[in-house]
Amino acid sequence: MQWLAEHSAALSLVTNAAMLVVWISYLNIFLFSFLRQRRQLVTITQGAGAELKAKCFVSNLGLEPIYIVEVVVDLMVNGKPCQAVVTDRTLMTDHELEDPREATNQGPLQSGRHSSIGEFEDLVRRGLSASKREGSLEDVSEVTITVVTATAAKGAVTGSRRAFVIEGTGEDRILHGRTLMAEQITGRAASRKLRRDLEVRLGIG
């Protein structure tokens, strides 16, 4: 007991230091879990089948709702690149639209939900039409889909991008992803560049 009394100050210091380490560890675990929950994960996939008639699906695997701001396609036409914003489904007539909201791909997407942004063939045709690039569907060898999104938490535009290679000829043309998963555009510099490029494309500012 006398030893404890003589070294109480040192023991108290050691105990406080140990408690501080424990609390810092708990804080790190909580912070890591919080940041992980807020991490955006938006996938871009093709529906059943590999043909160009397959649907292009956008899925929100993050824990927060997102808002689809724009859809951009980059095409490789006869070896030359071109880009176009294809958010609005301009090639669809009023009779083809069961709901007026189907005229655009803009809108909210809840956590764990997915949405079709159209057939790949339709996206390519709209890209060719909007970009004024000379060429036909047969001349396109690659299509890259970029989905520009926004969340309330980040307060900035982010995005997801995935490239698809088109192979074959005629009705036998198929496509497959160049990568397994979509690239997430979430870094500060990447988000700024995405916003700047989109504003230039839309003639804003």
CA distance 86 to 104: 9
C-alpha closest to that of 153 among 63, 54, 77: 63
> Which residue, among 87, 93, 169, has the nearest Cα to 136 in the 3D structure?
169
pLDDT at 74: 96
Tokens of 144: 């890259």
pLDDT of residue 9: 66
Question: Which residues, 6+ apart, have CB-to-CB distance to 103 below 8 Å?
Answer: 88, 89, 92, 97
Summarize pLDDT for 169-191 with one digit per residue, the tens: 877 889 999 999 999 998 889 99
The tens-digit pLDDT sequence of the chain (205 residues) is 665 565 566 667 777 777 777 777 766 665 555 555 567 899 999 987 788 999 999 999 998 899 999 999 999 999 999 999 998 865 554 444 555 556 788 999 999 999 999 999 999 999 999 888 888 889 999 999 999 999 877 678 999 999 999 998 877 889 999 999 999 998 889 999 999 988 888 777 6
pLDDT of residue 2: 62
Task: State both tokens at 205.
Answer: 């500012």
CA distances, 149 to each of 42, 51, 146, 171, 178 (Å): 9, 27, 10, 34, 22
CA 205, CA 48: separation in Å to the nearest integer?
41
E strand or H helix at 16 = helix 8-38
pLDDT at res. 89: 66
The pLDDT of residue 36 is 54
Q: What is the pLDDT of residue 41?
A: 93
Ramachandran category for residue 155: left, alpha or beta (phi over 0 → left; psi -120 to 50 → alpha): left
